[in-house]
Chain A
Amino acid sequence: MTGWLQPHRVVMIALALALVLWSAFSLRWDWLAEYAPLMAEGIWNTIWILVVTSVLGMLLAIPLGLAQAAGPWYLAAPARAFCTVIRGTPLLLQLWLLYYGLGSLFPQFPWIRQSDLWPILRQAWPYAVLALTLSFAGYEGEVMRGAFKGVPRGQLEAAKAMGMPRLTILRRIWLPQAVQRALPTLGGETVLQLKATPLVATITVMDIYAVSSRVRQDTFIVYEPLLLLAVVYMCITGLIVLAFRWLERRVPQRVA
């Protein structure tokens, strides 16, 4: 009846329980109540930044991959250059270039300062979102290039031979199969993207990492916030893994 309750699992569960109990009673958590709202905000910021930049990055990655896989040289070359530059430079550098470079250029133009966008552009998060989006696009553009190329040519020819317009072939045959091929890789890349998000704390965005630093600075408590931070990232990673597993299962296994 309890097939999964095997000895080694029982030991693991006991160990985990012991760890939780130990950390609950012998570590300091009195700061938690005071900082809970801030932590909730931090978690929320981390999650929405992750989701938004992954989705936008993916939307950019599709044309980037397609241009490299099948585009004419004047599209393929810039796409390749973009992916190479993004992948060849640290994300932290890109983030700072955008925030301190672009962000400090904008105020010099009066028409920007007077525009309706200014209240947004003077904040930090647009630069965080832009940098993370471009970074994800750069890496996934490369993944999608391979995925597009991996779709058997014959299947595209069959579609062509039946008089399918090019855009329909892309939408109904090529893209679905490329994405399907890329899904396992994309799952891993999204986890990496999650772990790139703490960099936004360096430009004053209040993600969960920034909150834990703040707790440390205010209270001089070091380990407990970091421990909690680790738990939060692991939980989000778990959610990503589950989400991708669900996505992969929605398209049945066909490679017999």
Chain B
Amino acid sequence: MGQAAPETFAGLPPVRPEAIRIDDLRKSFGTVEVLRGVSLRACEGDVVAIIGGSGSGKSTLLRCINFLETPTSGRIVIGGEEIVLRPDGTPASRRQIEQARRRLGMVFQQFNLWSHKTVLENLTEVPVHVLGVPRAEAVARAMALLARVGLAEKAGAYPAFLSGGQQQRAAIARALAIEPRAMLFDEPTSALDPELVGEVLNVIRDLAAEGRTMILVTHEMKFAREVASHVIYLHNGLIEEQGPPAALFGAPRSDRLKKFLKSVS
């Protein structure tokens, strides 16, 4: 498939293929520039954590990756395929966007399960009605995913009857059901009661451990430090500092990051 050939150097193992790449992304709402030229790269198996203060543009950045927001300018490459943008930043082909989105599983702060469908139907909806997976197969896969996130016995329940933590685990399973190449998490535990945070983090930790590519916006610094392979600190729409978690959390260089880390700890 049209994947950027991994750069190989004689004698060295090939670099892992690139899952997501963003070049010089800008996004304005009206006259306010929320993202002011952000670039990032996630290779397969990477866990990129994005941290930063409220309003720094973390959600906007994540939402630009799957075009829930239309970037003002910049380049977005997903699985080696560049999304073709018109000069005004809008995607040139709706089909291309839809296909790119199917390679990304997004998990929202507010879960956003479809309330008129059971948990199982939430998981089989897109596979059956969009991707054309035979129903029996989709159901079998969905049940396996639900078992994995510990919700097998809730398959027939409607979302409103689940706790927040259960809803978020179901939402993660729903995102996994389309077999995405990468997962995008936007503060998946921020809407949860403190005692429910752990169960969701465990599921995400599990996904990281099996080598899933993920971009994770989070306020859980300890967790970011634990699972991330790369951490990005966003401030006012710019990457203020980035690097491996040990460096970023252990020895922050910029004053802003130092202050930010102090304020959240």
* Residues A162 and B101 in contact in the complex (CB < 8 Å), given A177-B116, A254-B115: yes
**Bound Cα distance A168, B102 (Å):** 14
Can you list, as one digit per residue, whether each of A143-162 has a CB less than 8 Å from chain B (1) or not (0)? Answer: 00000000010110111111
Closest to B130 in A: A164
> Which chain A residues lie closer than 8 Å to B94 at the CB level?
165-166
Which of B97, B98, B110, B129 sits near A154, CB closer than 8 Å? B110
Shortest A221–chain B CB gap in Å is 52
Shortest A176–chain B CB gap in Å is 5
Can you list, as one digit per residue, whether each of B96-125 has a CB less than 8 Å from chain A (1) or not (0)? Answer: 011111101110101111111000000001
Determine if A168 and B161 form an interchain contact, defined as CB atoms under 8 angstroms apart.
no
Shortest A42–chain B CB gap in Å is 40
Can you list, as one digit per residue, whether each of A229-256 has a CB less than 8 Å from chain B (1) or not (0)? Answer: 0000000000000000000000110111
**Bound Cα distance A219, B5 (Å):** 94
Shortest B212–chain A CB gap in Å is 17
> Which chain A residues lie closer than 8 Å to B113 at the CB level?
155, 158
* Residues A159 and B114 in contact in the complex (CB < 8 Å), given A172-B125, A252-B158, A255-B160: yes
How many of chain B's residues have a CB under 8 angstroms from any CB in A?
Answer: 32
> Which chain B residues lie closer than 8 Å to A166 at the CB level?
94
Residues facing B in A125-158 (CB within 8 A) are 152, 154-155, 157-158
Determine if A180 and B116 form an interchain contact, defined as CB atoms under 8 angstroms apart.
yes
Determine if A254 and B106 form an interchain contact, defined as CB atoms under 8 angstroms apart.
no
Asked if A90 is an interface residue, CB under 8 A from chain B, the answer is no
> Which chain B residues lie closer than 8 Å to A157 at the CB level?
68, 108, 112
Asked if B218 is an interface residue, CB under 8 A from chain A, the answer is no
Shortest B1–chain A CB gap in Å is 17
**Bound Cα distance A228, B34 (Å):** 70
Asked if B178 is an interface residue, CB under 8 A from chain A, the answer is yes
Determine if B112 and A251 form an interchain contact, defined as CB atoms under 8 angstroms apart.
no
Determine if A254 and B114 form an interchain contact, defined as CB atoms under 8 angstroms apart.
no
Which of B111, B126, B160, B161 sits near A162, CB closer than 8 Å? B126
Determine if B130 and A173 form an interchain contact, defined as CB atoms under 8 angstroms apart.
no
Q: List 7 A-B contacts (CB under 8 A).
A: A155-B114, A159-B114, A161-B101, A162-B174, A163-B101, A164-B126, A177-B116
Which 3 residue pairs across A and B have the least CB separation, nearest first?
A163-B102, A163-B101, A154-B112
